[in-house]
Amino acid sequence: MAFIDGTVVNVALPALQTNLKATAVDVQWVIEAYSLLLSALLLVGGSLGDHYGRRNIFLIGVAIFALASATCGFAANIHQLIAARALQGLGAALLVPGSLAIISSSFSENERGRAIGTWSGFSAITAAVGPVLGGWLIEHVSWRAVFFINLPLALVVILISLRYVAENSDRENTRIDWLGAILAALSLGALVYGLIESSRLGFSDRSVIVVAAGILIVGFFLFETRTSKPMLPLSLFRSPIFTGTNLLTFLLYAALGGSLFFLPLNLIQVQHYAPTAAGAALLPFILLMFLLSRWSGGLVARYGSRLPLIVGPLIAACGYALFLRPGIGGNYWTDFFPPVALLGLGMAVSVAPLTTVVMGSVPQNRSGIASGVNNAVARTAGLVAIAVFGIVMLHIFKGELDRQMTNSKLPPTVVDSIRAQSTKLAAIAIPENQDAATQQLIRRAIDESFVSGFRKVMAIGATLAMGAAVTAMALIRGTK
């Protein structure tokens, strides 16, 4: 459920813009509301499972996720959808860590690796199926069906869990860091709100919120150093390798989350792909990660941890750089397949060694919390990157569109209408009272403006991926 939702909603964004009359900022919030609650509460979700019973919390998470999915499907406007997506994020924060915790506690040490491998395999399969299935549902049924598919899945999961999953907990050794969770949610929420809304209203209007978010983040870290059972044990970061791998994770997943947010918008709204085709366009990325994950896990044993974590991000950076080539109306196999495949190869080389190094950089009894911290860092990176990349995209798009409109010989009323809708990006509605040639001219200007912003976003992605490679070079000292 969580992995399908993580990949399918991006493909639905153009349909949401059209059907719910949403701006680009609104659809950013559709992704960010989910990611915010998931990122902020992921660690406390794991602690709740340890304290109150892993199966109980997992089932509550599944039920909340299903209820939120139904609410998403019935949403009458974009604001209801955003609120329901936040509730989905809360459910995911309970069920995602719970699923792995149940596996870890249900299998012996000898069988645990195979069990987690099976979990990873099914996660990859659902992540691959998600965009194609979602695209087909959007094309042939409705965008609402993307959310309703979670309901039968949730029912099956609840029945299986009640029948086959034993309850277990670790109440004596866990305490819930509620204040830490509240501070994390408030600080991340204020930061993301300040960044996203600044692209609509101007940064000066939201700079106070960003400063307040900075103060809250500092307060969160100070509190975590003083509490006896912190949600985020900062002592883990005394290990330079653990610090290095988490910085690398942040850079790599910021590039990925921020860039892939805009790819479906480009494919559907500018390149005019059908939703199913746009979903299938990402298959090489997902399949390469799935097929090569076992092979890349062996790279650490053969070459050490440092080399794969330098080479993988550099390959990913080349993939982002290749996204600078496509203009409007390019061929998929020459313009989009090479960068998508290179990005998949780069991430496949990076992810398994990265996980191995994170788990090996701390004592064995802290590997669970280390994995949770790394997962939270990856999700927070995507959360912040979508907000920042959105500012860049909107700024470049507006500037280029203004230039194109100024150079055109369109009537002032038409130019004003186009400029007033600039926060919709490529979903701007073209005035229907203009002749076909004028409509085509406006469409071309909008598409070229979007491509200019898309190229800048991908250039930032390439820079972040190169920064991840430099981080590995400087901070990770791997041995065979």
Question: Is residue 234 in some structural domain?
Answer: no
Regarding whether 187 and 83 lie in a shared domain, the answer is: no
CA distance 118 to 447: 43
Residues 203 and 295 in one domain: no
Q: Which residues contact 250 (CB under 8 A, 6 or more apart)?
A: 377, 378, 380, 381
User: What CATH number has the domain bearing residue 333?
Assistant: 1.20.1250.20
- For residue 89, what pLDDT is reported? 93
* Helix extents (H) in 107-239: 109-140, 145-148, 150-164, 178-201, 203-226
Regarding whether 185 and 147 lie in a shared domain, the answer is no
Ranking 188-202, 222-236, 344-358 by mean pLDDT, the lowest is: 188-202
Average pLDDT over residues 55-68: 94
Q: Based on the domain organization, do 152 and 191 belong to the same domain? A: no
Q: Is residue 91 part of a domain?
A: yes
Number of structural domains the chain divides into:
3
Query: Are 97 and 204 found together in one domain?
Result: no
* Nearest-angstrom CA–CA distance, 167 and 102: 9
Q: Please check whether residue 388 lies inside any domain of the structure.
A: yes
Tokens of 319: 């993939």
Per DSSP, 282 falls in state T
pLDDT number for residue 121: 66
Q: Are residues 153 and 79 in the same domain?
A: yes
Residue-wise pLDDT tens digits, 465-474: 999 999 999 8
> Nearest Cα to 121, choosing from 237, 359, 291, 352?
291
| pLDDT single digits (tens) 154-181 | 999 999 999 988 887 766 556 777 888 8
Tens digits of per-residue pLDDT, 411-467? Answer: 888 888 898 888 899 889 888 888 888 889 999 999 999 999 999 999 999 999 999
The answer as to whether 20 is a domain residue is yes
Cα separation, 373 vs 309, whole angstroms: 19
DSSP string over 85-136? HHHHHHHHHHHHHHHHHHHHHHS-HHHHHHHHHHHHHHHHHHHHHHHHHHHH
DSSP state of 173: G
Task: Kindly state whether residue 233 falls inside one of the protein's structural domains.
Answer: no
pLDDT at residue 35 greater than cutoff 80 = yes
Last residue of a domain, which of 228, 260, 291?
228
Domain carrying residue 116:
1-176
Most confident option among 156-165, 191-200, 345-354: 156-165
More confident residue, 250 or 296: 250
- Report the alpha-carbon distance of residue 306 to residue 476 in Å, rounded: 6
Q: Which of 79-83, 120-124, 278-282, 391-395 has the lowest mean pLDDT?
A: 120-124
Assess contact for 95 and 62: CB atoms under 8 A.
yes
pLDDT bracket for residue 229 (50, 70, 90): confident
Tell me whether residue 69 is in a domain. yes
Kindly state whether residue 64 falls inside one of the protein's structural domains: yes
What are the Cα distances from residue 67, in Å, to 5, 331, 460?
14, 41, 37
Residue 476 above 90 pLDDT? Answer: no
Mean pLDDT rounded to a whole number for the chain:
86
Task: Please tell me the distance from the alpha carbon of residue 192 to that of residue 134, in angstroms, as a whole number.
Answer: 27
Q: Are both 157 and 254 inside the same structural domain?
A: no
Tell me the residue ranges of DSSP E strands in 347-461: none
Q: Is residue 313 part of a domain?
A: yes
pLDDT at 479 over 60: no
Half-sphere exposure of 420 (CA within 13 A, CB side): 9
Q: How many Cβ atoms are within 10 Å of 302's Cβ, its own excluded?
A: 9
406 and 429 together in one domain? yes
71 with 49, same domain: the answer is yes
pLDDT at 238: 86
**CA separation for the pair 416, 362 (Å, rounded):** 58
Give the mean pLDDT of 354-381.
79
Residues 319 and 445 in one domain: yes
Same domain, 12 and 85: yes
For residue 89, which phi and psi values (nearest 5 degrees)?
A: -60, -40
For residue 94, give both structure tokens: 């309970």
Taking a C-beta distance cutoff of 8 angstroms, is the pair 72, 84 a contact? Answer: yes
Burial class (CB in 10 A: 0-12, 13-18, 19+), 180: buried
Exposed / middle / buried, residue 420 (Cβ in 10 Å: 0-12, 13-18, 19+) = exposed
Task: Please indicate, yes or no, whether residues 143 and 19 belong to a single structural domain of this protein.
Answer: yes
